[in-house]
Amino acid sequence: MQIEAIINNKKVAWEIENDELLADTLRAKGLLSIRQGCDTSCCGLCTVWIEGKPTLSCTTLSFRINGKNVTTIEGIQEEAAAFAQVLVAEGADQCGFCSPGFIMTVLAMKNELKNPAEEEIIHYLTGNLCRCTGYMGQLRAVKKYLGVE
Amino acid sequence: MNFIGKGIPKIDGISIATGKPVYTEDLVMANALVVKILRSPHAFAKITSIDTAQAENLPGVACILTHRDVPKIRFTLAGQSYPEPSPYDRYILDEMVRYVGDEVAIIAAVDEKTAVKAMHLIKVEYEVFEPVLDFEKAEGHPSVVHPEDDLHCNFDIGLNKDKNIASSKYVEIGDVEEELKKCDVVVEETYYTQAQAHAMMETYRAFSYLDHSGRLVVVSSTQIPFHVRRQLARALQIPASRIRVVKPRIGGGFGGKQTGAVEVFAAIVTLKTGQPAKIIYDRKETFTCTTSRHAMRLKVRLGADLDGTIRALDIQGLSDTGAYGEHAPTVFSVVGEKTLPLYNKTKAVRFLGNAVYTNKMPAGALRGYGATQGTFALECTVNKLAQKLGMDPAEIRLKNLIRQGETSLPYQGKLLGSSTLDKCIETGKNLIGWQEKYPSQEVGSNKVRAVGMAVTMQGSGIAGIDTASAEIRLHDEGNYTLLIGSTDMGTGSDTILAQMAAEVLETSLENIIVNAADTDVSPYDPGSYASSTTYVTGMAVVRAAEDLKKQILEHGAKFLEISPAEVEFDGKTLQTLDGNKAIGLRELAPLLVLGTGKQQLVGTATYGSDVSPPPFIAGFAEVEVDKETGKVDLLDYVAVVDCGTVINSNLARIQVEGGIVQGIGMALYEDVRYDQKGNLLTNSFMQYKIPCRKDIGTVRVAFEESFEPTGPFGAKSIGEVVINTPAPAIAHAVFNAVGVQVTTLPITPEKVFMGMGMEKAK
Ligand code: FES
Ligand code: FES
């Protein structure tokens, strides 16, 4: 089937299979920041924005983005780099495989929550797994980036 | 020091964080065949017939391979230096299948859907055998997991295949039974540790193709490019010179990628078809068809004097290596090697036991590599001794532990070069508030808080075996390429090795290109495992940089027409000591590389160490236990680390935090369950719970630096030691809270709750 969508501010018309998942479609179209760590909606690695809302692309059927705005980290490189710099300065990027999905969630949180408390931050990010860093460094980076205590 | 000890950002940090295509799957060519594996539904069976005709006829199928199509040469997938201690006990595909998930056929097709469809068209018949599922019943079980005649060991590891024994170990120094008899107190306990999963976020994957000269190129998310090349050469029966293995960025390894999981399946498809081929394991395959930590039973007997001096230590172990023997003898040996030296007032120590074959997923290397299991058993027992004698567990350790400059029975006279473990314990006590909090306090509404502790050691590289080379090239523009074969899997080792080179060459990090790892280009390195990269490869890098610096001085002196002894080099300029003549590196370098000097300078070094200096950690846990439900909340974890000199303060801290949390997972959440038929039930993140952000409380890290005389800038390792303390420290805290000693990991609410019931019944 054919769908039309706005991907990273560009209009596209894509031919897709009915049962195709968004993560696969995006990767096939060259958006290689999309990573997958599971097939049970548990890890958050595949997070993109649909209409600005963080969404798991691994369990979203591609036809659902018809007529919608989709953002991947490729589309917000400047914003992503601004946070990445804080993350990297903290040493909290290890293998980095979880980072794009994590950063998409952090940036969405920044848009959504004003001055979140530590528990709110942890709660918002809890669907993003990371096996390398132990989360503490990520939390320090997020707090620095948001300028919250 | 310009670079050493600084929290320098990782050189690849921004790229990997912002989603650049730098991992294996991102680099696959568009036309690569998709490789899938048909797997055994039985835990133990023989394939009696296999019909691939229908599958082969499906349009889009490139090839289907079965046990009839592979070389009949046994090999091991363990990434170890040759001659590997692990038994050569597998074919690429075998007529016998030895666990649920064992490979039956390889399918390659133009796309995923076709490959899966073809897989369903393959008809297999099996003769099913009674599987060996309980590792405590493996020895002497009527079923023999490896009945084959061509199983091969490079040297004697105590394998006895008719009894399902993969390897066997006995070391005793002094007479343990005799000493135990003389002891005032003997404490004894048996512990069980589970087959933890690595759960790295990037699952196993590789792709392969033939290059312009017809050589096989394998790009793989691996920790061991050189070992993979050797494995492929043997398994596929082609010369190693016809194989190139390339490692891009890796999405986590933790030892899992120290075992070749997938490379051979893509490679054989490329060899058979001439086409590029890729294989990407999904999460379920990663959980069920690769490797895990070796599950173990460890019985500890510890004898001491009334004043708490530990006199005799005996650890009797049984290790479950699963269907194949990857890392079986070595992981098992490490249980004793990294525990028995810790307390050095002993008069006798012993470690013995077997690793056994069962019909379950093979075990392999996982961060800690036996030391984790051994530490849990030993430290729980030391805590039990403290309890029995009414002594403070911190005091009992300070009384017994080996100190810098001392030896220990297993060290046979060799002296410990560096340790601040005593300081780590003191600092940790202060940070956790041991004085006020030990052992426990009621906090109302049926909740009780308590603290617990454990200490541990690991190694830095494998003494006498790990040997790494490094090269540094000076380019015509005065910059450098550092060539190494170690494998940064997210640890930041490319960055810290560049820091070391920059420190010696007094240059900036931007001036050093790091190239790793490509077996066609990189100097030999066993790969990043056994906590070797900072220590072993690091020393090679330091020496290569020193070698290059010396050459720069010599050649600079030639141009200045003076003896090298009268020239100094500050990283930018070569200048005579009297300051009269000078030449910049930017001028000298082009003269050497493309001008009159006619010699491009390359610094080289090869390094191996005959010691493996242990890093140490003192770990402290504070928990809150709900007495109504048995639920354990970890509130706070303090780890104080002696890794020698800290090379990169930020990266070291994250390594510790990450390792502690992986250890917390093993302690509290990561349960491994099989059903009666040998199916792994915990095969997704729904069933197998790794810690999420909410599960860990606070993790706090401090360093007590020592200076290791044999290490680069005084450094030891850090990557593995970090995972060892959480299980025993948390178990201790739980005991102090509710009096329940959980001896089987993980410490689930059910076990705590049942334990409290038994306490009450007493
Ligand atoms: S890939 Fe794990 S949640 Fe999408
Ligand atoms: S950095 Fe490796 S999974 Fe998060």
Burial of A67 (0-12, 13-18, 19+ CB in 10 A): exposed
Q: What digits encode the pLDDT tens for the residues B504-525?
A: 999 999 999 999 999 999 999 9
Question: Tokens in use for B264?
Answer: 């051979």
Q: Is the pLDDT of residue B464 over 80?
A: yes
Q: What is the pLDDT of residue B482?
A: 98
Q: Is the pLDDT of residue B761 over 90?
A: no
- The Cβ of residue B284 has, within 10 Å, a number of other Cβ atoms equal to 16
A134 vs B692: CB contact, 8 Å cut-off?
Answer: no
| Cα distance between residue A90 and residue A137, in whole Å | 6
| Cα distance between residue B32 and residue B615, in whole Å | 44
Question: Which CATH topology does B417-454+613-762 take?
Answer: Aldehyde Oxidoreductase; domain 4 (3.30.365)
Q: Mind telling me how many Å the CA of A95 is from chain B's nearest CA? A: 3
How far, in Å, from the CA of B283 to the mean position of ligand 1? 10
B9 vs A89: CB contact, 8 Å cut-off?
Answer: yes
Tell me the mean pLDDT in the region B133-142.
98
A129 vs B690: CB contact, 8 Å cut-off?
Answer: yes
Q: Is the pLDDT of residue A74 over 80?
A: yes
Q: What digits encode the pLDDT tens for the residues B629-658?
A: 999 999 999 999 999 999 999 999 999 999
How far, in Å, from the CA of A21 to the mean position of ligand 1? 11
Among B263, B176, B174, CA closest to B218: B263
Domain regions of chain B by residue span: 23-129+198-288, 131-190+298-411, 417-454+613-762, 468-607
| Cα distance between residue B6 and residue B646, in whole Å | 8
Q: What is the pLDDT of residue B194?
A: 98
Q: What digits encode the pLDDT tens for the residues B542-565?
A: 999 999 999 999 999 999 999 999
Q: Name B623's bridge partners.
A: B450, B634
- The Cβ of residue B684 has, within 10 Å, a number of other Cβ atoms equal to 17
Q: Which of A39, A80, A98 sits opposite B201 (nearest CB)?
A: A98
- Strand bridging mode A2-7 / A69-71: parallel
Q: What digits encode the pLDDT tens for the residues B249-297?
A: 999 999 999 999 999 999 999 999 999 999 999 999 999 999 999 999 9
Q: Is the pLDDT of residue B114 over 80?
A: yes
B13 vs A133: CB contact, 8 Å cut-off?
Answer: no
Give the full edge-to-edge strand order of the sheet including B310-322: B165-173, B348-357, B310-322, B295-304, B185-193
Angle at which helix A77-89 crosses helix A99-112, to 10 degrees, equals 110
Q: What is the pLDDT of residue B445?
A: 86
C-alpha B103 chain-centroid distance:
25
Q: Is the pLDDT of residue B759 over 80?
A: no
Q: Which of B21, B198, B283 sits opposite A39 (nearest CB)?
A: B283
How far, in Å, from the CA of B201 to the mean position of ligand 2? 7
Domains of chain A: 2-74 (3.10.20.30), 76-146 (1.10.150.120)
Alpha carbon nearest to ligand 2 atom 4, residue: A130
Q: What is the pLDDT of residue B725?
A: 98
First-residue to last-residue Cα distance in chain B:
61
Q: Is the domain covering B468-607 a CATH 1.10.10.60 domain?
A: no
Q: What digits encode the pLDDT tens for the residues B687-722?
A: 999 999 999 999 999 999 999 999 999 999 999 999
Chain B residues whose CB is inside 8 A of the A37 CB are 201-203, 283
First-residue to last-residue Cα distance in chain A:
49
Q: Which CATH superfamily is domain B23-129+198-288 in?
A: Aldehyde oxidase/xanthine dehydrogenase, a/b hammerhead (3.90.1170.50)
| Cα distance between residue B491 and residue B110, in whole Å | 36
| Cα distance between residue B163 and residue B161, in whole Å | 5
Q: Is the pLDDT of residue B320 over 90?
A: yes
Q: Is the pLDDT of residue B762 over 80?
A: no
Question: Tokens in use for B184?
Answer: 């005032």
Mean pLDDT for all residues in chain B? 97
CA angle at A45 for the pair A39 and A46, rounded to the nearest 5°: 75
**Residue B678 is which amino acid?**
G
CATH number belonging to domain B131-190+298-411: 3.30.365.10
Q: Which of A90, A95, A137 sits opposite B250 (nearest CB)?
A: A95
Q: What is the ipTM of this complex?
A: 0.98
Give the full edge-to-edge strand order of the sheet including B632-642: B440-442, B447-457, B616-626, B632-642, B698-703
**How many Cα neighbours within 13 Å face the side chain of B306?**
1
Among B295, B218, B296, B221, CA closest to B259: B221
In the A/B pair of chains, how many CB contacts fall below 8 A? Answer: 172
Are the folds of B23-129+198-288 and B131-190+298-411 the same?
Answer: no
Ramachandran bin of B445, using left for φ above 0, alpha for ψ from -120 to 50, beta for the remaining angles = left
A99 vs B16: CB contact, 8 Å cut-off?
Answer: yes
Tell me the mean pLDDT in the region B564-592.
95
Best to test chain B binding among A132, A142, A143, A145 (most B CBs inside 10 Å): A132
Burial of B60 (0-12, 13-18, 19+ CB in 10 A): middle
Q: CA separation (Å) from B73 to B102, B145, B260?
A: 17, 18, 16
